Amino acid sequence: MRDGAQTVGISFSLQDKLRIAMELDRLRMDYIEGGWPGSNPKDDLFFKEVQHLDLLHSRVAAFGSTKRPNVACKDDALLNILAECGARTVTVVAKTWDFHVMKALNIDLKENLTMIYETVSYLKDRGLEVFLDGEHFFDGFKVNPGYSLETMYAAQKAGADMFVLCDTNGGTLPSECEEITEKIVREISIPVGVHFHNDAGVAVANSLMAVKAGAVSVQGTINGYGERCGNCDLVTLIPGLVLKLKHTCECVDALEHLTEVSRTISEIANLAHNDRAPYVGLNAFAHKGGIHVSALSKDTRTYEHIDPEIVGNRRKVLISELSGKSNIEFKAKEMGIELPKDAKLSREILDKIKCLEDKGYQFEAAEGSFELLIRKSTGEFVPFFILHGFRVITEINDKREFVCEATIKVEVGGVVEHAASNGNGPVEALDNALRKALVKFYPEISDIALTDYKVRVLNEKEGTGSIVRVLIDQKTGPVHWGTVGVSENIIEASWQALVDGIEYMLFKKKLHHEE
């Protein structure tokens, strides 16, 4: 998440980071690098809050750097915050290119080796698992291999659990990567990891070659997010490792969730998902008419290198949809919903979802709306209130302040309730008014907190007439759910998502009481 958050256009909230951690754990990632404690308040809070998450597999790692020059480890404030943040694994970045040591740090080469040794030793003495990230290792090794090896030996001697070869500028090519990684694996007795940036467009290829050469760990990001051209895309790398090169890793047991996790994190990042992304893109297994479709009907291997369902994606035949209901049935079962075995309802739900997706809906990060859609289709869901109307007014007062007020009229069980409320914006005013109107009927609504609100314009060329998609995240206690709304009117789209969020919570409460 630290490297991913450096993407232009991404600004993760604390809640975003916690949701992403849960998604990465679901994908059975071995380590989640959550951020740099001490660098900003959000990362400090993350390392406190993440301890309350029920992570089943992943270990949380904290990022930091070697101690400052001429400062004892015990006196280095950032290093001690790193040691005490609660993460049992820490990743420490160190300079391994002599050029950077002299130009960026402006210190003696020996002093840098001392900093590496003393930092790793200090953290190991605190009982932590320590990975040493060799920044610019490949560039440094190419011009002065002797010094780069010295930094590695210093980390190994101090007790580092892994030495990570970093291609920080992203300019190393696969042939160089394989050759250098192979040399290092032979030279060092501790495990070797790699970290590639994508500036030359080969971060995934480099990672595959590095594993082939003996590396046992790859640092990367979901969807290849990262500064400049991004980092190694783990979503592309993992299938390459386990399906193509036949390596084993824990992610293989969760490969069916790969597409969903990739798209969910796109939504959390508020970035459009790459339709042409390998394995997980909307078009990764899309086929048009003609000889392709004819061949596919005989054997899908004619135009597909893997079965899309292995990675949780689906085949898309543009002249006639040949599959898809299995995805609906899988999700329904996951939610505890029993669908009829004749598959008619599954097909109806699938057709409804396709229709909504054509209008701009996306359900990957809106499972609350998705579940309500299925529950409505099965007849299980009955609305908890009837809307008679609402009005939202935005005005500017004599203090030149914008004031938003919403009035709403709803009916519950034959009783009509009228309420009004203010808010910092029209959506908050509407949310407050709706809660105020419903709380006397459903007191549990007061426990709902709106934790995130995102808007994306779907057809930017239409200007002010553009369709917008609104994603809302709400929670009660540790339980979170997402909902979605789509409209040309941002208030209407927000209303759809708000109502879905409240009704989802009420329905789940009712279901729990009935059980």
Q: Is 3.30.160.740 the CATH classification of the domain at 385-441?
A: yes
Mean of the pLDDT values across residues 161-173?
98
Sign of CA dihedral 107, 109, 115, 116: positive
Are 47 and 60 in contact by the 8 Å Cβ rule? The answer is yes
Are 143 and 99 in contact by the 8 Å Cβ rule? The answer is yes
Torsion, Cα of 283, 284, 290, 295 (10° steps) = -150
Mean of the pLDDT values across residues 73-89?
97
Task: Identify residue 121 by its one-letter amino acid code.
Answer: S
Give residue-wise pLDDT tens across range 287-309.
754 555 556 667 777 778 999 99
Asked if pLDDT for residue 405 goes beyond 50, the answer is: yes
Task: Identify residue 201 by its one-letter amino acid code.
Answer: G
Asked if pLDDT for residue 194 goes beyond 50, the answer is: yes
Tokens matching residue 261: 């996790």
**Least confident interval from 88-92, 232-236, 246-250, 357-361:** 357-361
Mean of the pLDDT values across residues 159-166?
98
pLDDT the model gives residue 324: 52
Tokens matching residue 132: 């040493």
pLDDT band at 318 (very low <50, low <70, confident <90, very high): very low
Where exactly are the structural domains of the chain?
A: 4-232, 385-441
Which three-class secondary structure state does DSSP give residue 8? coil
**Least confident interval from 99-108, 334-343, 410-419:** 334-343
Q: Tell me which of 19 and 513 has the higher pLDDT.
A: 19
pLDDT the model gives residue 459: 73
pLDDT band at 366 (very low <50, low <70, confident <90, very high): confident
pLDDT band at 323 (very low <50, low <70, confident <90, very high): very low
With residues binned 3-state (H G I as helix, E B as strand, rest as coil), the percentages for the chain, rounded to 5, are: 45, 20, 30
β-bridge pairing 479-487 and 286-287: unpaired
pLDDT band at 484 (very low <50, low <70, confident <90, very high): very high
pLDDT the model gives residue 336: 82
pLDDT band at 513 (very low <50, low <70, confident <90, very high): confident
- Residue 165: which of 223, 215, 112, 233 has the closest Cα? 215
Mean of the pLDDT values across residues 311-327?
59
pLDDT the model gives residue 288: 54
Asked if pLDDT for residue 32 goes beyond 90, the answer is: yes
427: how many CB neighbours lie within 10 A of its CB?
24
Give residue-wise pLDDT tens across range 492-504.
999 999 999 999 9
- Residue 191: which of 160, 232, 221, 212 has the closest Cα? 160
CATH for 4-232 (1.20.140.10, 1.10.510.10, 3.20.20.70, 3.20.110.20): 3.20.20.70
pTM of this prediction exceeds 0.85: no
Which three-class secondary structure state does DSSP give residue 232? coil
- Residue 132: which of 154, 101, 147, 111 has the closest Cα? 154
pLDDT the model gives residue 515: 61
pLDDT band at 322 (very low <50, low <70, confident <90, very high): very low
Asked if pLDDT for residue 480 goes beyond 80, the answer is: yes
**Least confident interval from 31-45, 315-329, 349-363, 406-420:** 315-329
pLDDT the model gives residue 321: 35
Give residue-wise pLDDT tens across range 444-474.
999 998 888 889 888 765 555 689 999 999 9
pLDDT band at 320 (very low <50, low <70, confident <90, very high): very low
Q: Tell me which of 179 and 286 has the higher pLDDT.
A: 179
Give the list of residues 6+ apart from residue 32 with CB closer than 8 angstroms, or none. Answer: 1, 21, 24, 25, 58, 59, 60, 61
User: Exposure pattern of 303-336 as b/e (b: 16+ CB <10 Å)?
Assistant: eeebebbebbbbbbbeeeeeebbebbbebbeeee
- The share of the chain scoring above pLDDT 90, in percent, equals 71
Give residue-wise pLDDT tens across range 228-257.
999 999 999 999 999 999 999 999 999 999
To the nearest whole number, what is the mean pLDDT of the chain? 90
